[in-house]
Structure 1
Amino acid sequence: MNTPQRPDGATAPAWWRAFLPARTPINARERLRTVVGGLLGIALTALLSHLASRVFGGAAVWLVAPMGASAVLVFAAPASPMAQPWAVVAGNTVSALVGIAVLLLTAGLGLPELTAGLAVAGAIAAMLALRCLHPPGGASALLMALNGISNPLFAFYPVLLNSVLLVAAGIAYNHATRRPYPHSQQTLPKPAEAGLDADLDAVLAHYNQVLDISRDDLKALLAETSLRSYQRQLAELRCSDVMSRTLITVEFGTPLQEAWSLLREKRIKALPVVDNFQRLVGIVTLADFMRAAELDDFEGMDSKLRQLLRPTPGPNSSKPEVVGQIMTRKVRVASEQRHLAELLPLFGSTGHHHIPIIGAGERLVGIITQSDLVTALSRAGQGAG
């Protein structure tokens, strides 16, 4: 049986789930901060506006209902572009003026439904034109139209005064509770981020919808999300995921000339030394050859190295002849199930260039070099981006 689909292609259960509210991703402390802010903001605005009514001849209306909606934005979403001071003050005031103008223009028609629709539509158009889109502004325009308020002064008192006082309370309270307000809506892009900014602008232009988040806040959230994704992917990587499995090894008795040729031909810097059971017994590096040849300076380097590598005829020798005589015996190793992130300090601060990886039975199963590490970090970064 096929699941019925909506016209937009979504299945019916998925379409109905769209009506379910999402969880508000804030903790109890932030909820309390928001509630107290709304209380103080409206109470202060109401008190001062009520006192100001004496200046305006004891006006009967000293606080308008849209301020409640404005308070939600100012104190619960202070980072929203629709909650910024210009949006609150201009959005409410201009919308009130539009509502009054529409009421006067349609007064003789006797069509309150049309008046209401035109008031809200006009308010939206005006707010978009003046870059002060503020949802409560639509309520301000509708308030004028439905209550027959035709005096333009009403847009200044109480609407304008209410808005200014609420914004002032928002600035003080958000600052006191460490929330930036006004919240910067425009920042200059850094030269290194020019490409990212262009991509973000292109995506926003294609999306072509009003977002209740500033462009720069969206950019910051995307960057933080990418960083956390990178950290998560890096934390999940294990040595077995990135190690080189094709191993070039030598044994204790491998002649120095043979080991040196392997280093040169394979263009590697280290050779693990293993026993007959593939267990690690040491490692030989370029540094070990230099130390054995006593290459403390560049004088006579070629001759000293050739002398070290040249086999000594006969059973007796006064110099090292095989790998086991010059190898480093104390080797830092890691298990194949160890997290890669745990090895970062070894490469970064202790000067390690390669770490052998051991598996079951202490057998050598791989090696991680600086190149392997860089490749793994690059892939994790690409996956996060």
Structure 2
Amino acid sequence: MYINKFVTPEIIFGDGAIQQVGESCLRLGAKKVLIVSDEGVRNAGWEEKVIQNCKAVHLEYAVFNNITSDPKDFEVEHGAKVYIENECDAVVGVGGGSALDAAKSIAIIATNGGAIEDYEGVDKIHLPLPPLVMVSTTAGSGSEVSQFAIIVDQKAKKKLTIISKSLVPDIAIVDPVTLSTKDPALTASTGLDTLTHAIESYVSVAATPLTDVQARNAIALVSEYLRPSVASRSNKEAKNSMAMASLQAGLAFSNAILGAVHAMAHAIGGRFPLAHGEINAVLLPYVMEYNLIAVPKHLAHIAEVMGEDTRGLTVMEAGRKSISHVKQLAQDIGTPKRFSEMGLEEAAIPIMSKVALEDACMITNPRDVTVQDIDELFRRAL
């Protein structure tokens, strides 16, 4: 008998939810928290909002915000030192995927020691982590609810994929108001990351009825609300819907894992400073085309969820409708179509193909993949 498992943190969702940070930490027994953020979060005012909330409940804190996009191993090590030196006992991550993944990884090193590369793969964390409260400020990464952390290994020039149920935060705080400070390009990039999470988890070999519900809901929400969210920072309905889409896609992929898009995106992101969501936007339709023969019914159903009319079509024809829908959505919101537009170098494809094949996300792709297949997908997307 197959046993379904579904792991999720406590979730606080809604306008003003960021005001719950301090009280949430106190409920977890925290005495002094390390607040982890980055420059964008600081400039938008959300780091200060969290600091003021901690002060309001008389919760001591330290701050570490030397995090860059696609956080690096040395940044994590620095953050762990700050955690230990300040005698913190909990971690609050504030931001998008970069800040939240860094916050989780800081917690790993601070309590388990060693180097972050020691934890690459599945279930390598052996000692309990401190309480984790993650505050999402982008509708994209899903890190606030996931068992993933992605960190760049600077020497190896690759992204480390760390997967462990220990990384599922104790409390996830999602405040759609924070999305109003994001520019159109970031909204578009993170939104397509959300869509990729949802689609990959839906076709994953590890998908279950529990993850399918979350993935379908996320796909429907992105299809309807990503365009208006990119068009207007003040569209409250669109921001709320995209925040919910990101949350539900995060729940789906945290439990069903992902696939070839993310495995390949991690290989690119380790070598080139490109936006993760834009990488996914380029790769997604090519990988969907590759996977079509393995999961035609799934892609046909995705087309229906996206609002496409599939009446009278074969399953394969309906499945192709989902691919054309993704291409049109990406075009409408202005994300790149090819890697040649983004500065990716063709000479790096052979090594990236080998790195992608070894990524943990490739295990759950619905169609078997060889290094030659990955190489061809990269070149088609170039």
**TM-score interval, normalised by the smaller of the two chains:** under 0.3
TM-score normalised by L of structure 2: 0.23
TM-score normalised by L of structure 1: 0.22
